[in-house]
Amino acid sequence: MHSTRMSYPVYETENDNKSSQMCSSCLSTTTTGSNSSSSSCQSISEGSICSHCSVHEKQETHPKKIKTIPAHIIIEPITTTTKSITSTKNQDMTNRNRSRCCCFRKNSTSRMIVFLIFFIFVLGAITAFFCWPRTPRISMGGGASSVNNEPPDWWAGERLPLSAQDNTVIPSRPSLRGTWQMNVTLDNRDNWIPTHIRSLDFVLMDSLTLSKFAWASASAMVLQPNTISPVSLTFNVNYQAPDNTDPTFQNLYNACGPLKTTNDQRPALKVLLKVNFHLFGIMWTPIVTATPYTGGILCPIK
């Protein structure tokens, strides 16, 4: 709100500073018995107003003098009030601007934090997608060979000791021992970066009874991305059955035992390969299970 500086004129007659005077009629009534000199002195001057009857004795008046008061004397209180109001409004506007600025800064900071968290999350997701090691897929062949062409060591559970002269049958736990050579394939086409493997543990199990009978391991290796790597493994076969009626031993003996005639054919051994991956940078151990693409493996001939 703006104020206009103005100076207001004050009108003043030349008789303002004189004492009150009365007209001739009022003076004659009031001063009965007085001398004429005092009456003439008390008579109202021309153009003045009677203090008793408030009537001009003559309608003609002297010209009025205009006295102008300086503007700063009159406008000073208005100017102070205006300045106070303006100052208050400016202070309110400043406080509003400060509050808006603070709110804008707070909102900007919150938005920046949310944007930064979202950016880190997206960047982490992209990095994990390309750099997180995926467990390679594994496949195995359908055959096994004997190392150094050595036949497996079968123990059927009965034997005739050489020292026994009375042909006494000595019972024993049936078992199978041997060394097999098998090939497996590691498929690393799902990874975008090289996969560092600390070690691999392989276990062969009977797929029907889930009993373990052979073990193998592989040392540290690096699998290149988008590649398929063949690995040759040596399995140590060692299984001991409680008796001849054990299902796992019977499956092993039927598939890998000695043939009664040359025309007999061995059935494939139904196995399940379990692999434990020890990967670099991962605390847990991924486990992968594979089966032969033919459904089973053929035991060594000897």
Q: How far apart are CA 252 and CA 239, in angstroms?
A: 9
Residue ranges covered by each domain of the chain? 9-68, 86-132, 137-157+171-290
86 forms beta bridges with none
Q: H or E stretch including 100?
A: helix 71-131
Q: Who wins on pLDDT, 221 or 17? A: 221
Q: What is the DSSP letter of 260?
A: S
At 201, the pLDDT band (50, 70, 90 cuts) reads: very high
pLDDT value for 154: 72
pLDDT of 55: 47
285 with 277: CB under 8 angstroms? yes
Q: Mind listing the pLDDT tens digit for each residue in 103-153?
A: 556 677 888 888 899 999 999 888 888 888 889 999 988 888 887 767 677
Q: Which residue has the tokens 């373990």?
A: 212
Burial 244-278 (b: 16+ CB within 10 A, else e): eebebbebbbebbbeeeeeeeeeeebbbbbbbebe
The per-residue pLDDT for range 49-72, each reduced to its tens digit, is: 555 555 444 444 445 555 555 555
Which token pair is 188?
Answer: 């690393």
pLDDT at 148: 73
Which of 213, 218, 210 has its CA nearest to residue 277? 218
CATH level 2 (architecture), domain 137-157+171-290: Sandwich (2.60)
What pLDDT score was predicted for residue 247? 92
Tell me the mean pLDDT in the region 160-167.
Answer: 46
Cβ–Cβ < 8 Å for 222, 196: yes
pTM: 0.57
Task: List, as one string, the DSSP characters of 193-228.
Answer: SPEEEEEEEEEEEETTT--EEEEEEE--EEEPTT-E
Please state, as a whole number, how many other Cβ atoms lie within 10 Å of the Cβ of residue 241: 21
Would you say 129 and 193 are in contact if contact means Cβ atoms under 8 Å apart? no
